[in-house]
Amino acid sequence: MTDLTGRGSAATLTRGIVWVIFGIAVLAGLAGLASGIGSIVTTLSSGQLSTLLSVSQGLPDAASAGEATLVAGSYETARVLVADLTPAAVIVSTIARVFGLLSQVAVAASFALLCWSLVRGVPFRRSLSFTITLSGGIVLIAGLVSAGLGVFSSWLIAEQLNGADEWWPIAASTDPGFLLFGFGLMFVGLAFDHGVKLQRETAGLI
């Protein structure tokens, strides 16, 4: 394993890569935070909510006007901007976004903290392993809450948009990627915790 605190070319290159990852994590976290807060503020101030809804509609004839033949196709989601929703729908959607934002920030903060510890040359610390494991738990819990409330808010919005023909299906989907990130962070945290124990047990043996 390359010592990131060293002066060799390998250490310099690896350290540079870690710094790049650190910068990307920080920028992604700040950008996601700013974008999420801006979206929430815009929704609350304008009363108009932008969201994705599930649809089940075939493609128009214009979608196959070229030389190729479109055998089959349909819309699965539609980006909509909705106004005059009930307070319940707006509140549920806003809470879902807040928890989703918390999950994103936790992932970015974990990567940034891990990179910072690697560059400093002290990756095996109890505080680091605890923080990463905690972040993984936050990602899991916040992701589950965000996904559940997001689906519920989609149902509410579709129901309030529908007329007698019920054009919008009362259905929604969610991305399970937060489960992978959450469990992955918890696994990394536990691995670093094991490294802390090994470091203490082998201290002074070499």
Residue 189 belongs to a domain = yes
Residue 186 belongs to a domain = yes
Residue 74 belongs to a domain = no
Residues of the chain with pLDDT below 70 are 1-8, 10-11, 122-124, 164, 171-173, 199, 201, 203-206
Cβ 107 vs Cβ 21: under 8 Å: no
- Number of structural domains (the chain) is 1
pLDDT of residue 7: 63
Residue 60 belongs to a domain = no
Cβ 106 vs Cβ 143: under 8 Å: no
Strand partners, 83: 48
Residue 133's domain comprises: 9-49+84-201
Residue 92 belongs to a domain = yes
Rounded to whole angstroms, the Cα distance separating 130 from 126 reads 6
Residue 79 belongs to a domain = no
Residue 191 belongs to a domain = yes
Residue 2 belongs to a domain = no
pLDDT of residue 92: 93
In b/e form, how buried is each residue of 159-171, taking b as 16+ CB within 10 angstroms?
eeeeeeeeebeee
